[in-house]
């Protein structure tokens, strides 16, 4: 007879050694992105190929600017966390740490750059 | 696994063998799962080009002219079309993940149909999006 509960035996045994909060954060951001992304694809795709004046006019309107900002922040957070899960499956030790730091830093740089561009166009 | 068991030679004493690379049939469930990771990572190329393009638009006419030429070249078309498909694939696979998480669709026939739905659906949505933003 086992005295440990199945949960106690399973806890911490995955590649990341933890994960409930991570999984929930991915669920929340994925639902958010499911609403944001289709309209954002249409707005960004329509703006692509326009003249600079038209691009500036598009992204100084509230909806395209706010939507792009949300896609950048929620999307880059979702990417950083998803890529972290992937790295935890395939890499070990110092390599794992360096790769996770790189991915998180990259996603913040992309988000900050996009937000700076939006602020400059919209304000 | 059932195939591997049937293919087990008499010399193995009928014991099931590990899947052998030459007879291993890849499954829709594993391929569609791996594609979710690949598309999630690969779409970053399109995101980086897109954000660079936005930064250029915010900066100056000269900078925009340079980056816009790249973003609207055959290379830009390739990157954005590929990333668009990656986004739609990842989108549908994500919806499937939410459906799985709710405890549905986990039997093999349904899971395989959902895999095909992700692949075919993502191509259809990519074509529709390209037509819409023309």
Q: What percent of chain B has pLDDT over 70?
A: 88
Q: What is the pLDDT of residues A1-53, one digit of tens each?
A: 678 898 888 888 888 888 789 999 999 999 999 999 999 999 999 999 999 99
Which residues in chain A touch residue B94, judged by CB atoms under 8 angstroms apart? 30, 33-34
List, as one string, the DSSP characters of A53-113: HHHHHHHTSHHHHHHHHHHHHHHHHHHHHHHHHHHHHH--HHHHHHHHHHHHHHHHHHHHH
pLDDT of residue B19: 67
Q: How far is CA B18 from the centre of its chain?
A: 28
Q: What is the pLDDT of residues B13-29, one digit of tens each?
A: 777 666 677 777 889 99
Q: What are the extents of the domains in chain A?
A: 29-122
Please check the confidence at residue B11 and state whether its pLDDT lies above 70: no
> To the nearest whole angstrom, how far is the Cα of B11 from the nearest Cα of chain A?
36
Per-residue pLDDT, averaged over B83-89, amounts to 98
Of the pLDDT bands very low, low, confident and very high (cuts 50, 70, 90), residue B5 is: very low
Q: Do A48 and B72 touch (CB under 8 A)?
A: yes
List the single best residue of B35, B36, B42, B47 to mutate versus A (max A Cβ within 10 A). B47
Which residues in chain B touch residue A116, judged by CB atoms under 8 angstroms apart? 55, 58
Q: What is the pLDDT of residues A40-55, one digit of tens each?
A: 999 999 999 999 999 9
Q: Do A48 and B129 touch (CB under 8 A)?
A: no
Q: Do A114 and B94 touch (CB under 8 A)?
A: no
Helix (H) and strand (E) counts for chain B?
5, 0
CATH number assigned to the domain covering B27-133: 1.20.1300.10
Per-residue pLDDT, averaged over B40-60, amounts to 97
Please check the confidence at residue A94 and state whether its pLDDT lies above 70: yes
Q: Give the global pTM.
A: 0.88
Q: Do A110 and B51 touch (CB under 8 A)?
A: yes
């Amino acid at each position: 007879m086992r005295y440990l509960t199945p949960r106690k035996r399973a806890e911490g045994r995955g590649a990341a050694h933890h994960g409930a909060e991570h999984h929930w954060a991915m669920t929340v951001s994925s639902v958010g992105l499911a609403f944001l992304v289709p309209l954002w694809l249409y707005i960004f795709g329509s703006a692509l190929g326009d003249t600079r004046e038209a691009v500036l006019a598009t992204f100084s309107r509230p909806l395209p600017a706010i939507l792009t900002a949300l896609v950048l922040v929620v999307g880059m957070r979702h990417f950083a966390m998803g890529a972290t899960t992937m790295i935890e499956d395939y890499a070990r030790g110092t390599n794992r740490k360096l790769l996770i730091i790189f991915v998180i830093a990259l996603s913040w740089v992309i988000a900050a750059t996009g937000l700076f561009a939006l602020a400059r166009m919209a304000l | 696994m059932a195939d591997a068991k049937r293919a087990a030679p008499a010399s193995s004493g009928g014991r099931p063998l590990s899947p052998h690379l030459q007879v291993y049939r890849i499954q829709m469930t594993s391929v569609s799962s791996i594609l979710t990771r690949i598309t999630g990572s690969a779409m970053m190329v399109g995101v980086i080009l897109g954000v660079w393009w936005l930064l250029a638009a915010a900066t100056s006419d000269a900078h925009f002219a340079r980056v816009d030429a790249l973003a609207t070249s055959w290379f830009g078309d390739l990157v954005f079309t590929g990333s668009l498909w990656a986004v739609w694939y990842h989108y549908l696979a994500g919806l499937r993940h939410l459906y799985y998480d709710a405890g549905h669709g986990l039997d093999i026939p349904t899971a395989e149909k959902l895999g095909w739905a992700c692949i075919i659906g993502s191509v259809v949505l990519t074509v529709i999006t390209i037509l819409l933003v023309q």
